[in-house]
Amino acid sequence: MKHLLSIDDLDREQVETLLARADSFAEVTRRDIKKVPALRGQTVVTLFYESSTRTSSSFELAAKRLSADVVSVKASGSAVDKGESLKDTVETIYAYDPAAIVIRHPYAGAAKMLTRWVDASVVNAGDGMHQHPSQALLDVFTLQNRMGSLEGKKIWIVGDVLHSRVARSNIAAFQLMGASVSVCGPPTLIPRGIESTGCDEAFAGRSREQADVVYLLRMQNERMGENFVPSIREYARLFQVNERRLGPRQLVMHPGPVNRGVEIGSDVIDSDRSLISEQVASGLAVRMAILYDLLNSGDDAAEQPADGPVPIGEPA
Ligand code: CP
């Protein structure tokens, strides 16, 4: 695997291999010395054209924990503000000879476009409404850690599915790992033809208790040119998930950032049924595994043990 652009490019075995690697990196993150030399001498550039807290910080930290040199560029405050094109910006950072470029961009297909311009590995950290594959992988990892397996589990994705790259990636990833997925939200925020992805549309009136996991999405206001719901208050009244709307065994996930009191109640965020903090923690280990796998997919990979790099201080 040279690039990570879409969950659709992965099969189940590849996901399982990558998440087994993430498991060994999660163990590394619990040590006193949390760094391994796997990417020493290599450079990773993160290039974010949209705001981010979780994805940008965890990719940056993941690369540092693997001992790579890291250059982080945010479009805001960079030469993009002076009118530099994506291609010119990419050519500029490519002069540093990066092994990987992690990009978030508002346009679907931007990450794929980079693969035609550079020889580096490209990681899609979110392209418009299209894909956010590392989010889907960390969500599968989080659920596997909690539930063991996704096989036969029922997952409801609730909220603004229409504008959500997380929904598109996660529907594919959850199904790939054996879960059945339903989407639920105001009709204006459910994409037409969603059934073609293999999931069904669950209606708000139907009991959410059927779900093992309720995966909440925020309203993607930055992608809305018009009003899709009568009001946020009305939306919250009908679709907000709070303790009153959950059965005792149900788990709740959210990719963040959350809008407390809109799609999710504070009582749920702060309860032990919420996996939100675990999702963030998983992001680091999974993104270490992604960078490691992409940058060791050549001849050197054969020299690496299957369960990940040998930690500093242990015999190789
Ligand atoms: N889930 C997610 O992509 O969060 P950020 O926008 O903070 O990166």
CATH at 91: 3.40.50.1370
- Predicted confidence at residue 71, as pLDDT, reads 97
- Predicted confidence at residue 211, as pLDDT, reads 93
Kindly state the average pLDDT of the residues 218-230: 83
Task: Give the Cα separation of 198 and 86 in Å (integer).
Answer: 35
Residue 83 lies in a domain: yes
Looking at the fold, whether 288 and 242 belong to one and the same domain comes out as no
Looking at the fold, whether 89 and 169 belong to one and the same domain comes out as no
> Confidence class of residue 302 from pLDDT cuts 50, 70 and 90?
very low
Cβ atoms within 10 Å of 108's Cβ, excluding its own: 15
Looking at the fold, whether 148 and 258 belong to one and the same domain comes out as yes
Measured in angstroms, how far is the CA atom of residue 68 from the centroid of ligand 1? 22
- Predicted confidence at residue 205, as pLDDT, reads 57
Q: How far is CA 46 from the centre of its chain?
A: 15
HSE value, Cβ hemisphere, 13 Å, CA-based, for 234: 6
Q: CA of 284: how far to CAs of 1, 36, 112, 113, 232, in Å?
A: 20, 14, 23, 26, 33
**Residue 83 reports pLDDT greater than 50:** yes
**Residue 261 reports pLDDT greater than 60:** yes
Share of the chain above pLDDT 90, in %: 83
Looking at the fold, whether 253 and 298 belong to one and the same domain comes out as no
Measured in angstroms, how far is the CA atom of residue 160 from the centroid of ligand 1? 15
* Ligand 1 atom closest to Cα of residue 125: 3
Measured in angstroms, how far is the CA atom of residue 53 from the centroid of ligand 1? 6
Q: Of 64, 59, 67, which Cα lies nearest the Cα of 123?
A: 59
**Residue 292 reports pLDDT greater than 50:** yes
109: amino acid identity, one letter: G
Q: Which residues does ligand 1 sit against, CB inside 6 Å?
A: 52-56, 126, 135, 255-257
> Confidence class of residue 206 from pLDDT cuts 50, 70 and 90?
low
* Ligand 1 atom closest to Cα of residue 51: 6
Q: Which of 51, 52, 282 to mutate to test the pocket of ligand 1 (most atoms within 8 A of CB)?
A: 52
Looking at the fold, whether 111 and 138 belong to one and the same domain comes out as no
pLDDT digits (tens, 9 = 90+) for 51-70: 999 999 999 999 999 999 99
Residue 1 lies in a domain: no
**Residue 305 reports pLDDT greater than 70:** no
Q: Are 44 and 99 in contact (CB under 8 A)?
A: yes
Domain count, the chain: 2
Q: Of 51, 54, 95, which Cα lies nearest the Cα of 74?
A: 51
- Predicted confidence at residue 230, as pLDDT, reads 83
Looking at the fold, whether 253 and 137 belong to one and the same domain comes out as yes
Measured in angstroms, how far is the CA atom of residue 257 from the centroid of ligand 1? 6
- Which structural domain range is residue 56 located in? 7-132+280-303
**Residue 33 reports pLDDT greater than 80:** yes
Q: Determine which residue's CA is closest to atom 1 belonging to ligand 1.
A: 255
> Confidence class of residue 19 from pLDDT cuts 50, 70 and 90?
very high
Residue 309 lies in a domain: no
Residue 197 lies in a domain: yes
Residue 85 lies in a domain: yes
Looking at the fold, whether 229 and 284 belong to one and the same domain comes out as no
Q: Are 63 and 291 in contact (CB under 8 A)?
A: yes
Task: Give the Cα separation of 109 and 62 in Å (integer).
Answer: 24
Looking at the fold, whether 27 and 73 belong to one and the same domain comes out as yes
Task: Give the Cα separation of 254 and 276 in Å (integer).
Answer: 6
**Residue 115 reports pLDDT greater than 90:** yes
pLDDT digits (tens, 9 = 90+) for 135-176: 999 999 999 999 999 999 999 999 999 999 999 999 999 999
**Residue 208 reports pLDDT greater than 80:** no
> Confidence class of residue 265 from pLDDT cuts 50, 70 and 90?
very high
Helices (H), the chain: 12-29, 54-65, 86-94, 110-117, 133-147, 165-176, 232-239, 266-269, 276-295
Mean pLDDT of the chain: 92
